[in-house]
Amino acid sequence: MNSQRTIGKEVTIAGIGIHLGVESRLTFKPAEPNSGPVFVRTDLPDSPQIAANVTSTMNGVVRRTSVGSQEVSIQTIEHVMAALAGLKIDNVTIEINAPEPPAMDGSALPFVDVLRDAGIVEQDTPRRKLQLTETISVKDGDRELTLIPGDSCRMTYSFKSQSPVSITQLASIEVNEDTFTKEIAPARTFCFQYEVEALQSQGLGLGGGPDNVVIIDDDGAPDHLLRLEDEMARHKILDLIGDLYLLGSIPRAHIIAHRSGHDLNTKLIQKIAESDRRCRRMSNTSTMEPLGTNEIKKILPHRYPFLLVDRVIELEEDKRAVGIKNVTVNEEFFQGHFPQEPIMPGMLQVEALAQLAGIILFRRKEEDSIGLFRSIEKVKFRRQVIPGDQLRLEVEVLRRKRNVTRFSGKAFVDAELVVEAEFTVVL
């Protein structure tokens, strides 16, 4: 069995963050199967948790990859995520006392070393596999990323800089634990001299220095002896691996990149995630025995006519769930909404997503609690839901803080998105 993995013991690493310039202490701890990588901000009240996955990825953040929200986030996580990906560590709790991990030497190698010191432990749970059957591509001007499904993972990166210094590098690597550790993890962060002042004026690169950044001058000469001949292209592959691991696993594919950065990487992983969901919806595969109505009633307090989840077909503990709601013409709400043209009320679609979220929250809890909405945001209704439709409900945990949990939810009919929302539930 291709099993999930965690670490054997708690380990800590510390240093200064490259962009914010703040001292940071990172502690890796073992975690249960299906929990994924989760950051815990120990410097904030109630130590909020942020799951490092594609759903929590923040758009519009330049020169780095961040997860969370405008209120609570972790920035510049790509090197940490790349180390986890390269060592195939699925589940880990990452406590951090700052908004940004330490940069260390500007590569992923220090994180690889400390995680190996912790020991890697196989868990008795299979790894989740991405189901990709189609070529996926994203483009922005002359920058492009293309994924071609295959039997193994190969990454090809074409690096090219122009004025005032022209540098071209090409790296193509079959990615596995050995090649990652030896040929990718050591590649360091680099920056061109002419970029430094502009970055710092934006509040970035404040922790950058000779210990964690290779500076390229206007003649194309680095201020450090390079570790690898094509170190810039390989560092871009390192960043791409870290960003891809927000999907939960690295896809078996040939991924071809030309001048891509974190913004384009984010667009690719979001497109990959949607393709994976579409494949799963069409194949309707399940890795668990479905929970039927009787089992759901043992978990949720809702009853007829307000129980809006008929089955649960996928469930990753404390992480995500997929459920089914069969919309029949006998639903009570159709008597008044509307008698001549029955349409399922949009807020009942959101309520169905919230009930599925409740199954994630309460399946393992024994205390007598109920979940209530604290907020509902980013709601979009894409099409009407009518009698005869089957809603496929998908809910993921975004972050958790004591008795408050934020979720992302989407519902589909025949693989077509009908509603999406983010919502917070308080116990």
* DSSP states of 74-111: E---HHHHHHHHHTT---EEEEESSSS---TTSSSHHH
Cα 200 → chain centroid: 28
Burial class, 14, CB count within 10 angstroms (exposed 0-12 / middle 13-18 / buried 19+): middle
Q: In terms of pLDDT, which residue wins out, 284 or 331? A: 331
3-state secondary structure of 198: helix
Give residue 363's pLDDT band: very low, low, confident or very high (50, 70, 90): confident
CA 220/CA 165 separation, integer angstroms: 6
Across 292-303, average pLDDT? 92
CA-to-CA separations, 274 to 54, 136, 281, 410, in angstroms, rounded: 10, 11, 10, 11
* CA nearest neighbour of 424 among 380, 371, 382, 381: 371
**What CA–CA distance (Å, rounded) separates 166 from 221?**
11
Q: What is the secondary structure of 130-180 as a DSSP string?
A: ----S-EEEEETTEEEEEEE-SS-EEEEEEEE-TT--EEEEEEEE-SHHHI
Reported as a pLDDT band with limits 50, 70 and 90, residue 366 is low
- 3-class state of residue 256 by DSSP: strand
Alpha carbons 210 and 271: distance in angstroms, whole number: 37
The single residue listed with the structure tokens 């490259």 is 18
Active site (catalytic) residues: 262, 337
Q: What digits encode the pLDDT tens for the residues 235-272?
A: 999 999 999 999 999 999 999 999 999 999 999 999 99
pLDDT at residue 367 is higher than 70: no
Give residue-wise pLDDT tens across range 25-65.
Answer: 999 999 998 889 999 999 999 999 999 999 899 988 889 99
Give the contacts of 101 (CB within 8 A, at least 6 positions apart).
17, 24, 26, 74, 76, 77, 79, 80
Whole-angstrom Cα distance, residue 150 to residue 187? 26
What the chain holds in terms of domains, given with CATH numbers, is 3-126 (3.30.230.20), 136-282 (3.30.1700.10), 293-426 (3.10.129.10)
State yes or no: pLDDT of 389 exceeds 70: yes
Confidence of residue 1 (pLDDT cuts 50, 70, 90): low
Residue 188 gets which letter from DSSP?
Answer: P
Instruction: Inform me whether the pLDDT recorded for 404 exceeds 90.
Output: yes
